[in-house]
Every structure is written in C-alpha cells, then in structure tokens.
Amino acid sequence: MEILQTRPGATADELAAALGVTERAARRYVGILREAGIPVESTRGPYGGYRLGRGTRLPPVVFTEPEALALVMAALDDTDELVGNALGKVIRALPEKVGLQAATLRRHASAAPDPNSVRPDPAITSALVTASAARHSVRVAYRSESGREAEREVDPWAVVVRQGRWYLLCRSHRADAIRTYRVDRIGAVHQTTRAFEPPDGLDPVAALEENLGAGWEYPTRVVFDAPLSEVAPWVRPPMGRLEASGDGCVLVGSTGTPDMYAQKWLARMPFGFRVEGGPELRAAVAELASRFTAAVES
C-alpha cells in the first residue's frame, strides 16, 4: 500500500522488485488487498499498472523496524524536551515488535551531545522556512555575537543546518550582499509583501560554506608564508576566503569574536603568518602571544 501510494502506476514487476518477491507473489498480494476491501485499480497496456482507488485511507504513519531504530538513533543526542516528548509518542504508536526494539534502544543507549549545537525556536524556524518557500522578504530582529540588536530586512533564500547549528542564508537589503545569520539569534520574524527570486542554480549548502566568513563586525586579514595548497586544508569556511599571493597566500574575512579567531583557529596553524588586519584581531593575537610567552618564562 505504501508503494502504491508513493508510486501510483507501479507495475507488478516493479512491485516485485521493491518487495523482494516474485512477480507472481506481487500479483497475489494485490489480490489479498482487494479481498480485504482495499480498492486497487489496474490499467493494462505499456503505461498501465496498479494504483489505489480514490478515497483509500492508509494508516497515518507506518515505520519498518530499521526506520524506527534510525529515527531513535538520530534523536538520541538531542536533549530538547519537545523532541523527547515527540519521540516518546512515536514509539508508543509503533507496532509492538518494532516499538519494543525502539524503546529498548532509547532506554539503554546514550550519547554525549555536541556542545556546539544550538536548537533555535521552532516557531522562528518555521516562519523563516515558510517565507523562504513563499519567496517573500522578511524583517528579522537579530542579535549579533557581541550582543548588539538590530532589525534587518532580508530575502530568506534557505535555512541550512551545519554541524549542529541552524543558519539563515539570505540577501541583506541594506548591504545588498549575501549574509548568514544564526537562527537561534533571531528574536522575531515579520513576513512582508515584497517578493524575491533566489539566484538560479542556488546550492544553499555551498553558498553557506562560502559566505560564513563574510559580513561580521570585525575585518580580518592574515598573510601566510606557505603556498595556498598547503594552507587550504587548515582553513575552515568561517575563517574567510583564501587567495594566492606571491609565494604564499592571504586569508581575508571577518569575525564577531577576535579572541576566538586567534585562540581557536590561528593558534593551531602550523605555518608562519602575519596578521595585517584588522586592529581587533591584531590585539587578540598579541594578547595570546603574551600569555604563551609568559607560560614558558623562567
């Protein structure tokens, strides 16, 4: 029934392949459904096949055992109360054999949640996704990493989940540029009547990766004394854009937290480099160097 619902017009041969049985067995299953009062219609000819009759009512949700276990595994590392409550309802609604396996897995398996993951407000996320699907601009109340709050009007191209964090990929009307906003820092969403069209062939994930290091409060510019091919594997997209420069390369971007940029990213780079800008990042690197120097002084 699930196959016929999702693939109306499936042939007996296609049903047999999907179920892992012979074509004769698939036809027999169709007969069993009809005997049970399920209206399965059939059409002959090269474009014929089986389909469910109009008005056929299927169970609301049907999970196989692997699907149910995969669902529990995906939600194990999520400590959100809403997710836990929803998962409990799903498990209770499963057939006894499948539900028992899922409940056992949930009870006896545990996971260490990702400390960097942040779950945004479901209502805010839903409003952004709705506006993106309707292709309407929105006004959002956004709080930057430094705590500064401002209202911004943007075209919400897509909502992207990356490494446990939710981002809004959008075009800022004020800056007329691509921006990436953390959804958990958006306090309110108001959909406008202004329509927009996303770029042709937009790949939201690739665009997010490319623009994570742009549009932040403090500019950064770091010059490396090593070729681009050697430095590139050590550079994460939020650090900025890496470009060849003479015998070395230069990393140009921006950040909202110069201290984190210096301590978490630059300190681990195994290459010589110079911080040419901005002044906030230079000060953060100088402070870090001073601390490290003091740590080894006699």
> What does the alpha-carbon distance between residue 105 and residue 110 come to, in Å, rounded to a whole number?
9
* Residue 274, beta-bridge partner list: 223
Q: Hey, is 4 helix, strand or coil?
A: helix
Q: What pLDDT was estimated at residue 93?
A: 76
Q: Which residues contact 84 (CB under 8 A, 6 or more apart)?
A: 75, 78
Q: Is the pLDDT of residue 60 over 70?
A: no
Residue 77, pLDDT score = 65
Overall pTM surpassing 0.75 (yes/no): no
pLDDT of residue 138: 97
Q: Which strands form 241-245's sheet, in the order they lie side by side?
A: 241-245, 248-255, 218-224, 273-277
State yes or no: pLDDT of 139 exceeds 90: yes
Residue 163 has what pLDDT? Answer: 78
Among 30-39, 82-91, 107-116, 117-126, the range scoring the smallest mean pLDDT is: 107-116
Q: Which of 132, 125, 128 has the alpha carbon at shortest distance from 195?
A: 132
Task: Calculate the average pLDDT of the chain.
Answer: 87
pLDDT at position 285 over 80: yes
Of 61, 73, 60, 62, residue with least CA distance to 101: 73
For 192, residues 6+ apart whose C-beta sits below 8 A from its C-beta are 136, 137, 138, 139, 153
CA distance 60 to 55: 14
Average pLDDT over residues 58-65: 66
Residue 118: the pLDDT is 76
3-state secondary structure of 120: coil
Residue 292, SS3?
helix
Give CA–CA dist 277/92, Å, rounded: 57
With beta carbons less than 8 A apart as the criterion, state whether 138 and 156 touch.
yes
The count of other CB atoms within 10 Å of the CB of residue 164 is: 14
CB-based contact 208:236 (threshold 8 Å): no
**C-beta separation of 107 from 71 below 8 A:** no
pLDDT exceeds cutoff 70 at 55:
no
pLDDT in tens, 157-214: 999 988 778 999 999 999 999 999 999 999 999 999 999 999 999 999 989 988 888 8
Q: Which residues contact 28 (CB under 8 A, 6 or more apart)?
A: none
What are the start-end ranges of the H helices in the chain?
Answer: 2-6, 12-19, 23-35, 65-75, 81-93, 96-108, 122-134, 204-211, 228-231, 258-260, 279-296
Residue 146 has pLDDT above 80, yes or no: no
Does the pLDDT value for residue 114 go beyond 90? no
pLDDT of the residue at 61 = 62
Helix (H, G, I), strand (E, B) or coil at 119: coil
Tell me, what's the pLDDT at 57?
Answer: 66
* pLDDT value of residue 44: 80
The position carrying tokens 């892992």 is: 20
Read off the DSSP letter of residue 226: S
Q: Kindly report which listed range (67-71, 229-233, 288-292) carries the lowest average pLDDT score.
A: 67-71
What pLDDT score does 59 carry?
59
Domains in the chain (CATH in brackets) are: 2-52 (1.10.10.10), 65-108 (no CATH), 122-211 (2.30.30), 218-296 (no CATH)
Residues in Cβ contact with 196 at an 8 Å cutoff, skipping those fewer than 6 apart:
135, 136, 137, 155, 171
Which of 17-26, 98-107, 150-159 is predicted least confidently? 98-107
The tokens describing 57, both together, are: 């009512």
pLDDT-based confidence at residue 62 (cuts at 50, 70, 90): low
Per-residue pLDDT band at 131 (split at 50, 70, 90)? very high
Amino acid at 277: G
CA torsion angle 264 266 267 271 (round to 10) = 150
